[in-house]
C-alpha cells in the first residue's frame, strides 16, 4: 500500500533518507520537520536513524536489531503496517528496512549484542534482495553465476578451431547440465604455446580466454531479453562484449580465490608474465586487470553479477537495430538501479554515492584493460603467426571481424 505523503516534509525516492536536523533558523527547521512516521503512518515530529519515525517504531527497530529473535509472518508477509491496525513483527521490521532504517545507525552496542546485530544485517540483506532487487532476479543471477564458476573449474571445455559466435549461440545452453561436468582437483601443467589447438584441449589444457568467451555466450542464453532480439542483433551484441568478459571474468575469479595483485588462473597459469611480457607496462596492466580495484572496493558476488550484466547489455554495440538498442538500454538500466541499491545496502547514508562511483568505475577500468589486451594481441602476437595458420575462427571473428 502506498504511503500518504506529508504535506511539508519532502520524502526522497528509494531509500535516501531525510538527514538529521541541525540547528538552523526556526522557519527552515519547521519546513523540514516530519509530520508522519514512514513505518506506521502515525504522527511524529522526529527523525530516528535518519528516518521520519515515531518513538514506538524507533524502539521496535532497535530491539529487533539487538535481540537474537527472528520473526515470521503468519499471513504470508501481507500485513498492512498502519497505526491502529493489527500487524506482525516480521512485516513491521521489513517495513523499517524498506523505508531506509539500517542497523549501522544504531550506536552504543554492547559487545554481547554485536553478534545479534550481525545476524540482523544478514536478514536485512535478504529482505532487500527480495523486496527491492527482485526486478533483476538477483538470486537467479547468483545461482547462474555459480553454475558458470562450476563449469570454469570443471572438465567442460568445448574448444573448436572452426566454430564462431553464431555456431555457439545455436547450441543448446549447457548450464542446466553443469553438474555432469566434474570439478578438476589436480590441473595439468599449463604449457607454453604460440598457437592453441585441439590436441592441447584434448589433454585437459584450457585456453582461459576462450573458456571465458564461451561462458559469456552461455550466460546470454539465460537472459529473457536476449530472446526478444532478432538473431543478427543477438550476434552483434555478443561480439561487442566477449573480449570485455575475457578480461572481467578472470580478474574477479582470481579475487574470490584470494589473489590480490596479478590474475592467476585455476591451473596456476599467470597470463602475460613471462619473457618480454614480464616488465612490459602494457602486459602488467593486463595481467592485473581490475583485480586490485576489486580488492580496494571489497567487491562481493552480488555486485559482480550486476556489473557483469551492465557490461553485457551494451546498447552501443555496433550494428544493432534501433529496436534492439531500446530493448537493451531499458534492460540495462534495471541492473544499474539494482547496483545502486546494492551499494546503498552496505554503505552509510552519506557515503553511498562515492562508493557507487568507485564500484561502477570497474566497468570503465575493465574496458581499458580490454583495449590494452587487444594492443598486446596485435603488437606482439599477430606478427609471430599467420592468421590462417591454426588460429581459432572465433578469434579471427572477434579480432579481425571475419564472419
Same domain, 48 and 176: no
The answer to whether position 13 is within a domain reads no
In this prediction, residue 291 carries a pLDDT of 97
In this prediction, residue 44 carries a pLDDT of 86
**Alpha carbons 88 and 90: distance in angstroms, whole number:** 6
In this prediction, residue 376 carries a pLDDT of 92
Residue 342 near residue 306 (C-beta atoms within 8 A): yes
The answer to whether position 241 is within a domain reads yes
In this prediction, residue 349 carries a pLDDT of 59
The answer to whether position 16 is within a domain reads no
Query: Domains in the chain: how many in total?
Result: 2
Same domain, 150 and 56: no
**Alpha carbons 36 and 14: distance in angstroms, whole number:** 17
Q: At 377, which CATH number?
A: 1.10.565.10
What is the full per-residue pLDDT of the chain (403 aa) written as tens digits?
A: 333 333 333 323 333 333 343 444 444 444 456 788 889 998 888 888 778 889 999 899 888 877 767 777 887 777 899 988 989 988 898 888 777 787 666 665 554 455 555 555 555 555 555 455 667 888 889 999 999 999 999 999 999 999 999 999 999 999 999 999 999 999 999 888 878 989 999 999 999 999 999 999 999 999 999 999 999 999 999 999 999 999 999 999 999 999 999 999 999 999 998 888 889 999 999 999 999 999 999 999 999 999 999 999 999 999 999 999 999 999 999 999 899 888 887 776 567 889 999 999 999 999 999 999 999 999 988 887 765 567 899 999 999 887 6
Select from 42, 77, 102 the last residue of a domain.
Answer: 102
Sorted by sequence, the CB contacts under 8 Å of residue 158 that are 6+ apart come out as: 168, 171, 174, 214
The answer to whether position 274 is within a domain reads yes
In this prediction, residue 210 carries a pLDDT of 97
Q: At 55, which CATH number?
A: 3.30.50.10
In this prediction, residue 392 carries a pLDDT of 92
Q: At which residue does the C-alpha cell 547462474 appear? A: 144
In this prediction, residue 114 carries a pLDDT of 54
Same domain, 57 and 158: no
Would you give the end-to-end CA distance of the chain in angstroms? 54
The answer to whether position 115 is within a domain reads no
CA angle 394, 397, 403 (to 5 degrees): 115
Q: pTM, whole model, 2 decimals?
A: 0.71
Q: Is 67 exposed, middle or buried (0-12, 13-18, 19+ CB in 10 A)?
A: middle
In this prediction, residue 341 carries a pLDDT of 85
Same domain, 81 and 199: no
The set of cell numbers assigned to 102 is 539500517
The answer to whether position 387 is within a domain reads yes
Same domain, 205 and 309: yes
Same domain, 97 and 147: no
Same domain, 80 and 172: no
2 alpha-carbon distance from chain centroid:
29
Same domain, 149 and 47: no
* Helix (H) / strand (E) containing 48: strand 47-48
Sorted by sequence, the CB contacts under 8 Å of residue 346 that are 6+ apart come out as: 300
Q: Is 290 exposed, middle or buried (0-12, 13-18, 19+ CB in 10 A)?
A: buried
Same domain, 302 and 379: yes
Same domain, 71 and 172: no
Domain assignment of residue 318, given as a range: 138-401
The answer to whether position 117 is within a domain reads no
Amino acid at each position: 500500500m502506498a504511503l500518504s505523503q506529508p504535506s511539508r516534509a519532502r520524502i526522497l525516492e528509494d531509500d535516501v533518507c531525510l538527514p538529521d536536523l541541525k540547528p538552523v533558523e526556526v522557519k527552515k527547521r519547521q519546513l523540514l520537520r516530519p509530520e508522519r512516521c514512514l513505518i506506521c503512518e502515525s504522527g511524529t515530529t522526529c527523525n530516528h536513524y535518519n528516518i521520519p519515525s515515531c518513538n514506538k517504531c524507533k524502539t521496535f527497530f532497535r530491539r529487533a536489531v539487538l535481540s537474537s529473535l527472528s520473526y515470521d509472518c503468519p499471513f504470508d508477509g501481507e500485513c498492512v503496517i498502519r497505526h491502529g491496525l493489527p500487524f506482525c513483527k516480521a512485516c513491521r521490521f521489513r517495513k523499517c528496512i524498506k523505508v531506509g532504517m539500517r542497523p549501522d545507525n544504531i550506536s552504543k552496542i554492547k559487545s554481547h549484542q554485536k553478534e545479534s546485530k550481525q545476524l540482523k544485517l544478514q536478514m536485512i540483506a535478504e529482505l532487500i534482495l527480495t523486496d527491492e532487487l527482485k526486478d533483476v532476479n538477483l538470486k537467479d543471477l547468483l545461482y547462474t553465476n555459480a553454475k558458470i564458476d562450476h563449469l570454469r573449474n570443471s572438465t567442460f571445455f568445448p574448444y573448436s578451431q572452426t566454430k564462431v559466435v553464431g555456431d555457439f549461440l545455436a547450441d543448446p545452453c549447457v548450464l542446466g547440465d553443469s553438474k555432469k561436468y566434474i570439478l578438476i582437483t589436480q590441473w595439468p601443467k599449463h604449457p607454453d604455446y604460440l598457437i592453441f589447438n585441439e590436441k592441447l584441449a584434448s589433454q585437459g589444457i584450457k585456453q582461459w580466454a576462450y573458456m571465458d568467451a564461451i561462458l559469456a555466450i552461455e550466460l546470454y542464453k539465460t537472459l529473457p531479453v536476449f530472446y526478444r532480439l532478432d538473431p543478427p542483433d543477438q550476434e552483434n551484441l555478443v561480439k561487442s562484449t566477449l573480449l570485455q568478459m575475457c578480461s572481467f571474468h578472470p580478474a574477479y575469479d582470481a579475487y574470490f580465490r584470494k589473489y590480490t595483485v596479478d590474475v592467476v588462473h585455476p591451473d596456476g597459469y599467470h597470463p602475460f608474465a613471462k619473457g618480454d611480457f614480464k616488465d612490459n607496462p602494457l602486459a602488467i596492466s593486463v595481467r592485473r586487470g581490475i583485480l586490485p580495484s576489486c580488492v580496494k572496493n571489497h567487491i562481493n558476488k552480488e555486485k559482480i553479477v550486476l556489473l557483469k550484466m551492465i557490461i553485457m547489455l551494451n546498447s552501443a554495440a555496433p550494428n544493432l537495430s534501433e529496436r534492439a538498442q531500446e530493448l537493451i538500454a531499458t534492460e540495462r538500466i534495471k541492473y544499474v538501479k539494482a547496483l545502486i541499491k546494492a551499494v546503498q545496502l552496505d554503505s552509510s547514508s552519506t557515503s553511498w554515492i562515492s562508493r557507487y562511483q568507485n564500484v561502477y568505475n570497474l566497468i570503465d577500468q575493465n574496458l581499458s584493460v580490454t583495449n590494452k589486451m587487444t594492443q598486446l594481441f596485435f603488437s606482439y602476437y599477430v606478427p609471430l603467426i599467420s592468421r590462417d595458420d591454426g588460429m581459432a575462427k572465433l578469434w579471427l571473428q572477434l579480432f579481425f571481424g571475419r564472419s
